[in-house]
Chain A
Amino acid sequence: MKRRDFVQMAGWGLGGVFLPNIPIYGKEIPEAALLDNPFDVALKKQLADVALNAARSKGATYTDVRIGRYLNQFVSTREKKVQGIVNTESYGVGIRVIAKGCWGFAATNQMTKDGVAECAGRAVAVALANASIQGDPVQLAPQKGYGEVSWKTPVEINAFTVPVKEKVDLLMQVNDTALQLGASFINSLIFAVNEQKYFASSDGSYIDQDIHRIYPTFNVTRVDRATNKFETRSAFSAPMGMGYEYLRPRPEDKIPGIVTLYKQRYDILEDVKSAVANATAKHQAKSVEPGKYDVVLDPTHLWLTIHESVGHPTELDRVLGYEANYAGTSFLTLDKWKSGKFNFGNPLVNIVADKMQPGSLGAVGYDDEGVKCGKWDLIKDGILVNYQVIRDQAHILGLPASQGCCYSQGWDDVQFQRMPNVSLLPGKQSLSVDQMIAGVEKGIYILGNGSYSIDQQRYNFQFGGQTFYEISNGKITGMLKDVAYQSNTQEFWNSCHSICDERDYRLGGSFNDGKGQPAQSSAVSHGSATTRFNNVNVINTARKI
Chain B
Amino acid sequence: MAILSKEDAQSILKKLLSFSKADECQVSVNASQGGNIRYARNAVSTAGEVSNASIAVSASFGKRTGTATINEFDEESLRKVVARAEELARLAPENPEYMPLLGPQQYAESIAHSAGTAAMTPESRAEMVARSLGAAKSAGLEAAGYLENNHGCSALMNSKGLFAYSTDSGVDFSVTVRNREGTGSGYTSQQYNDVSKLDTLALSKTAAFKATRSSGAKAIEPGKYTVILEPLAAADMLGGILRSFDARSADEGRSFLSKKGGGTRLGEQLFGDQVTIWSDPLHPEVPGDTWNGEGLPLTKTSWVEKGVIKNLAYSRFWASQKNVNPLPGSRNMIMLGGTGSTEDLIRGTEKGILVTRFWYIRMVDQQTLLQTGLTRDGTFYIENGQIKFPIKNFRFNESPIIMLNNIDAMGASVRSGSAFLPPVRIRDFTFTSLSDAV
A interface with B by C-beta (< 8 Å): 1-5, 11, 13, 17-18, 27-31, 33, 80-82, 85-87, 92, 102-109, 122-123, 125-127, 129-130, 132-136, 164, 168, 184-185, 221, 223-230, 232, 320-326, 328-329, 331, 412-414, 416, 450-460, 462, 464, 482, 484, 486, 488, 516-518, 537, 539, 541-545
Contact = CB atoms under 8 A, between A and B. Distances in A.
Contact of B372 (A126, A323, A482, A484): A484
A135 B41 contact: yes
Nearest to A232: B366
Contact of A17 (B260, B366, B395): B366
B34 interface: yes
A30 B432 contact: no
B399 A543 contact: yes
Name the 10 nearest CB pairs between A and B, nearest first: A135-B43, A27-B69, A3-B32, A105-B48, A129-B122, A460-B435, A324-B144, A457-B437, A455-B437, A223-B253
B245 to A, nearest CB: 11
A537 B432 CA distance: 11
A460 B437 contact: yes
Given A129-B122, A325-B40, 16 more contacts: A2-B34, A4-B52, A18-B254, A30-B91, A107-B49, A109-B51, A135-B41, A225-B253, A226-B261, A321-B142, A322-B40, A324-B144, A324-B176, A453-B373, A456-B359, A516-B38
A107 B93 CA distance: 37
Given A517-B36, A539-B432, A462 B170 contact: no
Interface of B: 30-32, 34-54, 56, 66-71, 84, 87-88, 91-93, 95-97, 121-123, 125-126, 129-130, 133, 142, 144-146, 148, 150, 152, 154, 168, 170, 172, 174-176, 178, 182, 187, 191, 243-244, 246, 249, 252-254, 256, 258-262, 293, 315, 359-370, 372-374, 376, 393, 395, 397, 399, 401-402, 432-438
Nearest to A102: B44
Contacts of A225: 253, 258, 260-262
Contact of A221 (B144, B244, B254): B254
Given A27-B70, A451-B362, A484-B364, A543 B402 contact: yes
B142 A455 contact: no
B88 A228 contact: no
Contacts, number: 285
Contact of B360 (A11, A30, A455, A517): A455
B198 to A, nearest CB: 13
Which of B32, B37, B50, B174 counts the most chain A CB atoms within 10 A? B50
Contacts of B359: 328, 455-456
Nearest to A223: B253
Nearest to A127: B47
Main secondary structure of the interface of B (DSSP, over half): strand
Contacts of A86: 67
Contacts of B67: 28, 86
A215 B361 CA distance: 25
Contacts of B69: 5, 27-29
A108 B52 CA distance: 7
Given A1-B170, A29-B69, A106-B49, A132 B126 contact: yes
Contacts of B293: 11
Which of B67, B176, B261, B402 counts the most chain A CB atoms within 10 A? B67
A324 B150 contact: no
Contacts of B365: 482, 541-543
B296 to A, nearest CB: 13
Contacts of A484: 364, 372, 397
